[in-house]
A and B are shown apart, each in its own frame.
Chain A
């Protein structure tokens, strides 16, 4: 499943997509994020019959993801995003 967390407002689309078929819940994305956007859950909340751990974007960050991620997205040259970089299975993508 592709889980899109975030929102769309007048200024643009801000979604973090996690591919739950790739994600095995290893948690590498959790400590590298300076805004603590990610957490690992024991079970996918959107696939209750699966029972495998998976990373999700925390509830309180979903509605302000544009600002939570801002520090890793400076104008001009953008270094690789720590979360995308840390993920060994390339399960994380940003829409902006």
Chain B
């Protein structure tokens, strides 16, 4: 089989300091995105485990796969989840979901947990859309804007370029920084146009790193214009798969003139984290109602 340059590594993690068997509230969050699916489990408001996988052709299967990976070797099963929130593109197709919540709300809440209450602006660069969100210190959305009309400026676009240039996707960011002078950006409104533009640049003899730099800067410029629509207030955080690409992140920071917070955990799980935290809040709310 030909090498799949676009393929990123699936991962999972368990917090060794938590014993879930003594827990009071256990909630799940599942983010079934257009490209990747994540599942997390929260135990009494703390992140216990997560799994990050590729979304397949079937959303329910992807949800099961992500949660299966998250719960691997933990001894936990779906029955242990008191409340599960689905989010993302396939949120209504999570078979074990108690309810669905939009990814806007979940990303704000998730970023608030992952980066702390000082975060005011969240940029989520997902597989197939981009979201710019303002939130308050509790992670509640105060202003948002989403662009899901086209895949320029998203993870899927980067996958297409990884394949075209035969560079593993995890190395694209680094490589894009190895240019002496920043080339002019390629088309920033359409991945298909950008790809055909890149093909002709390669034919003209541009080295790979220069073409990648041109694409990373096009992507950065595109999301910056989106962000400018709602304004950027610090602290600023980037979530989603592209947050792992230093080439794009560096160029966004340069264009905005501010630095994004450095992530401590996998940036792709922000939506699922927010979903599980909503689950936790909703369990408490129900209990309060019952008295």
Contacts and interface: CB of A to CB of B under 8 A. Distances in A.
Interface stretch (A4-12, A25-33, A69-77, A83-91): A4-12
Contact of B148 (A1, A3, A7, A95): A7
B226 interface: yes
Given A8-B226, A8-B229, A49-B281, A1 B142 contact: yes
Given A45-B105, A47-B105, A9 B149 contact: yes
Contacts of A13: 229
What secondary structure prevails in chain B residues at the interface with A? mixed
Contacts of A3: 144
A80 interface: no
B39 to A, nearest CB: 19
Contacts of A95: 229
B200 to A, nearest CB: 19
A4 B147 CA distance: 10
Interface residues of A, number: 17
A48 B105 contact: yes
Contacts of A10: 189-190
A15 B150 CA distance: 15
A94 interface: no
A95 B225 CA distance: 14
A63 B141 contact: no
A3 to B, nearest CB: 6
A48 B278 contact: yes
Contacts of A46: 102, 104-105, 141, 144
A42 B3 CA distance: 49
A4 B230 contact: yes
Interface string B99-125: 001101100000000000000000000
A4 B144 contact: yes
B232 interface: no
Contacts of B149: 7-9, 63
Nearest to B153: A8
Contacts of B229: 4, 8, 13, 15, 95
B201 interface: no
Residue of B104, B149, B226, B285 with highest tally of chain A CB at under 10 A: B149
A10 B101 CA distance: 30
Residue of A3, A4, A46 with highest tally of chain B CB at under 10 A: A46
A8 B225 contact: yes
Contact of B142 (A2, A8, A45): A2
Contacts of A2: 142-144, 230
Nearest to B193: A10
B101 to A, nearest CB: 5
B150 A47 contact: no
B145 interface: yes
Nearest to A21: B142
Interface of A: 1-4, 7-10, 13, 15, 45-49, 63, 95
Interface of B: 101-102, 104-105, 140-150, 189-190, 225-226, 229-230, 278, 281-282, 285
Given A2-B230, A47-B140, A48-B101, 19 more contacts: A1-B141, A1-B142, A1-B144, A2-B142, A2-B144, A4-B229, A4-B230, A7-B148, A7-B149, A8-B226, A8-B229, A9-B149, A9-B189, A10-B190, A15-B145, A46-B105, A47-B105, A47-B141, A48-B282
